Amino acid sequence: MAFGEALEGYALLPELEHPMFDPALIPPEIWSPRKVAELNAMLARLEARKVDRIVMPEAGSGFRGSNAIRTYCQAYLRRCLVLIGSAYDLFFIENGLVSMMCLRAIYETVASFLDFEKKLQVLISQGDLQAIFDFSKQRTHFTKDQHLIDTIGEQIKATNVLTQVEKMAKLRRNIMKEYNFLSEHTHPNSFGTVLYFADLKTEYAADAVTFSDGGPDPRADLQWILVAADLLRYFEDALDRIETELPALSAEGAAAAPNKAKP
């Protein structure tokens, strides 16, 4: 099915920046107008949390721990918004396959952040300020680059993201089924190559193969964008939980090291 035929009756190039998802471009059978409005409201809340600058030492105490955490959160926030915005924009220029790659990255990003939040909450409950600061800085520099690991130490070695995605099954029962589907399109397997760009049905009907950039089912690709956007509610919840803890953490930091620029 051609890209234009699949979305017949809907404009292909959205001009509105806000809300992110133009309801006029989302067929109601793909995602209801109410659910589109809910996604837009969530994405607007996330967008409103972006800041351009964080001063690390807090005024008066010099405590850095809370803002080290906020720095980490801010980077993940921007990554999530860039990925979902890119996935949506790319879809409308018939780059649906690249959209799917962005969506897979959202699954990994949310899973990684939830792992961070869970471990951070344990440390906060234990009350070791230095351990909290060290953990935040280590996660900031997480990597798979062996040279950096050898130079700095095993503490910055990134966890296997697949393990983190699997742990999300407690929140979303079909998370691995969804992630594996997106992975099939991200990898150069059949779903991400021949079955995406070539219409093999024409081979049998006309003894020829036809190709298109928009993929075999653009409506399904659009729905996947909305599914991945919905996943960001877990990210938002984790952000809220972390931010709730930070005022008390800052107070502990101020009491432990008043007027000193220490974690």
Neighbours of 232 (CB within 10 A): 22
Residue 128 DSSP class: -
Residue 192 DSSP class: G
The mean of the pLDDT values for the chain is 88
Inform me whether the pLDDT recorded for 258 exceeds 70: no
What value does the mean pLDDT take over residues 236-252? Answer: 97
**Contacts with 81 (C-beta within 8 Å, 6 or more apart), sequence order:** 43, 46, 47, 50
Note the pLDDT tens digit of each residue in 41-81. Answer: 999 999 999 999 999 999 989 999 999 999 999 999 999 99
* Residues 236, 42 contacting (CB under 8 angstroms): yes
Q: In the numeric block, which tokens belong to residue 157?
A: 């070695």
Among 111-115, 209-213, 220-224, where is mean pLDDT lowest?
209-213
- Selection from 111, 100, 105, 101 nearest residue 224 by Cα: 100
Q: At what angle do helices 65-91 and 129-140 cross, to 10 degrees?
A: 30
Inform me whether the pLDDT recorded for 14 exceeds 70: no
**Given its phi and psi angles, is residue 212 left (phi above 0), alpha (psi -120 to 50 degrees) or beta?**
beta
Q: Cite the beta strand spans of the chain per DSSP E.
A: 198-199, 210-211
What value does the mean pLDDT take over residues 169-176? Answer: 94
pLDDT at 132: 94
- Selection from 31, 26, 33 nearest residue 9 by Cα: 26
Inform me whether the pLDDT recorded for 4 exceeds 70: no
Distance CA(128)–CA(216), nearest Å, equals 54
Residue 67 DSSP class: H
Distance CA(135)–CA(130), nearest Å, equals 8
Banded model confidence at residue 203, pLDDT cuts 50, 70, 90: low
Banded model confidence at residue 7, pLDDT cuts 50, 70, 90: very low
pLDDT at 262: 46
Banded model confidence at residue 17, pLDDT cuts 50, 70, 90: low
Residue 53 DSSP class: -
